[in-house]
Structure formats: C-alpha cells, structure tokens
Amino acid sequence: MDKKKLQIALYWGAACGGCDVAVLDTNEFILDVAAACDIRMWPIAADGKYKDIEAMADGELDLAIFNGAIRTSENEHIAKLLRKKSKTMVAFGSCAHLGGIPAMANQFNKEEIFEKAYLKNPSIQEGNAAVPTPHTRVEAGELEIPVFYKRVYKLDDIVDVDYYLPGCPPAPEQVKAVLKLIVSGGPLPAKGSVVGASDRALCDDCQRKKEEKMVKQFHRPWQILQDPERCLMEQGILCAGSATRSGCGVRCPNSNMPCRGCYGPLPGVVDQGAKILSAVSSIIDSKDPAEIEKILEGIQDITGYAYRFGMAASLLQRSVR
C-alpha cells in the first residue's frame, strides 16, 4: 500500500456489470486513475478479497464506489463493510442511486419471483426445479449462499451515502469528470449531492422540435416510423425526458429512442414516476372518459415505464400484494 496514493475500492451489488464497463469506458483515462490510486478491490477488473477489506482499519479507504442495488444479504454486508472502511462513499449508477432495473422486481413478492425464476421457468428440466435456500446440507458439509431479500433497496436505504452519480450507466464523460475531480483532490460538492449530472430536465437539452403535444394514440418505438426531428412525445412515443435530470448528453432521443428516465428525478422532485405519469396523461387528446380509457390501452405497462429505474426510491417502494 502506497500511503500517498488515494485508496479506493469499486464494488457491485445487484447490478448488470454495465456500471463497471462505464468506468472502463473512460478508456486510457483509467490508467491515470490506476497511477494515482491504489485500487484495493474491484471484482470485475482487479483482485481484492472480502477478507482484505475486513482487515482494513476503519476509514482506511478514501473512496468506495458502489454500483448496484441491495437484493441479498451479501450486498448488504459488503455495502456496510465498505461504508465502515471508507471516508467517502459514492452511489454509482441508477441501481445504487434509485434501485434501478433490479428494483422493478419490487412489483412482485419473493414467492412470485421464485416461482417464475426457479419453478415455472420454461428452461427448467422436468423434475429439476429447485428454489435456492440459504443453507443446504450436502455430503461434504453445509453450503451457504446469501439470503434473497423480500425486496430490493437502494444503497442509501442501507448505508449513509455521500454522493450520487446517476445513469444506467453513467455517461463515461461524466464518470471521467467526477473521477478527475476526486483524483485531483479538488474541492468536493456538498454531501448528498447528485454529481455528474445537470439540474435541468432532459427536454431542455433535447434538440428535437417541440410544438403541440396532444395525441390520440400511443405507440411503442418500433410500431411507427418516427420523424427524427420532432419530439417523440408529440409522436405518441412515451418519453420520460420532461421528468428526468439531464446530464447524459441526451443519449437516447439522439439515437431515436425515448428517454427511460435513468438519470433520475429532477432536484426537488419526490417521486419521479408520479411526474412521468403526469406528463404522459397530460398529452391525451380527449375529454371523454371512454375514449381516454381506449387511448390508455396503448400503454403496455405504465408502472414499469414510470418506475423503470426509480421503484426503490418511489413513495410506495414496492407492491403490497
């Protein structure tokens, strides 16, 4: 351990791996980071065992970058461990920030999830269905796997978080900017800040033409030939841009796909899904309840849409079924 170097750890909880790839996507800049820092743990790219982290003194790490949500007892254990050992903790990416895609499972209870994944999944061979249990006795002894929790949590439900870097995944330029600041030892923003993002709505930065937003029909992106110049909402394609924090570089609308809301709510917004829901309903062109119902049939899954990334951070947080 080089005492002059910044001591850092990167870790993934319930995540897809995309956040780690976003760090690697800073290309050769990552070599500067490696030169300026001791990377004490990074499961995807470097070594470092849990027991090494356990052996550290409290606060020995300058920085822990945690991506992924909290789905299992292992996720919780390491989140708490890293918190104890780190001076600064960053929730990196939508899952750590808001629950992300894994938290969409909060629409279902544990039994439903297990049934779908382990009992009724079409890829399961006859007679081979088994539900994971934390402890299993085999001849060689007892096997232990993490406990699958009843629901998914965001990182700050479990530990104190210093900064949030949003995005699914965060845009590499933003990752770079934030890492640069940390490595340079520059003055850090106030604790609890969302970093690597702007305070404007995505629509403010979107270059598509915005005119009159009223529609008689909603479409999924593949169902129509879109006008690449015009606002997607005006074409009946659900876009979360008005209820989403900008900062990604308008990645999706610029690629002819609607925003799904991964940069999270705007400053001061309590529940991003409620805002997305409001935005969608505001463009329905009808004053007749029956026709409104009919138009709404064009929306396949409003809950999955409004809370694609923010379920664990929403007011209701999970289904009560």
Partner 1 sequence: MGFEPRIVGFLCNWCSYTGADLAGTSRIKYQPNVSVIRVMCSARIDPTFVLKALATGADGVIVCGCHPGDCHYSEGNYKTMRRFPLLKKMLKDFGVEEDRVRLEWVSASEGQRFSEVINEMTDKVRALGPSRIRISLDADKVER
Q: Which does 91 bind (CB under 5 to 8 A by kind): partner 1, ligand SF4, none?
A: none
Told to check if 319 binds partner 1 by CB under 8 A, we report yes
d(Cα 259, Cα 253) in Å, to the nearest integer?
6
Told to check if 253 binds ligand SF4 by CB under 6 A, we report yes
Binding residue (CB under 6 A) for ligand SF4 from 159, 161, 262, 295: 262
Told to check if 202 binds ligand SF4 by CB under 6 A, we report yes
* DSSP helix/strand/coil, 285: coil
- Reported as half-sphere exposure (CB side, CA atoms, 13 A), residue 219 has a value of 15
Number of chain residues interacting with partner 1 (CB under 8 A)? 37
Q: Report the residue number, 236 or 253, with the smaller CB distance to ligand SF4.
A: 253
Told to check if 306 binds ligand SF4 by CB under 6 A, we report no
* Closest C-alpha to 170, from 276, 251, 224, 232: 251
Q: Which does 281 bind (CB under 5 to 8 A by kind): partner 1, ligand SF4, none?
A: partner 1
Binding residue (CB under 6 A) for ligand SF4 from 259, 266, 274, 306: 259
Other Cβ atoms less than 10 A from the Cβ of 196: the count is 25
In whole angstroms, how far apart are CA 166 and each of 30, 263, 274?
Answer: 19, 5, 19
Q: What is the DSSP string of 92-148?
A: EHHHHHH-TGGGGGGGS-HHHHHIIIIIS-TTSPTT------SEEEETTEEEE-PPE
* Closest C-alpha to 273, from 237, 301, 231: 301
Beta strand 141-144 with 135-138 is antiparallel
Q: Give the interface segment with partner 1, choosing from 14-22, 43-51, 91-99, 298-306 (CB under 8 A).
A: 298-306
**Contact set with ligand SF4 (CB under 6 A):** 202-203, 206, 208, 210, 231-233, 239, 241-242, 244, 248, 250-253, 258-263
**Contact set with partner 1 (CB under 8 A):** 73, 76, 107, 147, 149-151, 153, 270-271, 273-275, 277-278, 280-282, 284, 286-287, 289, 292-293, 296, 299, 302-303, 306, 314-321
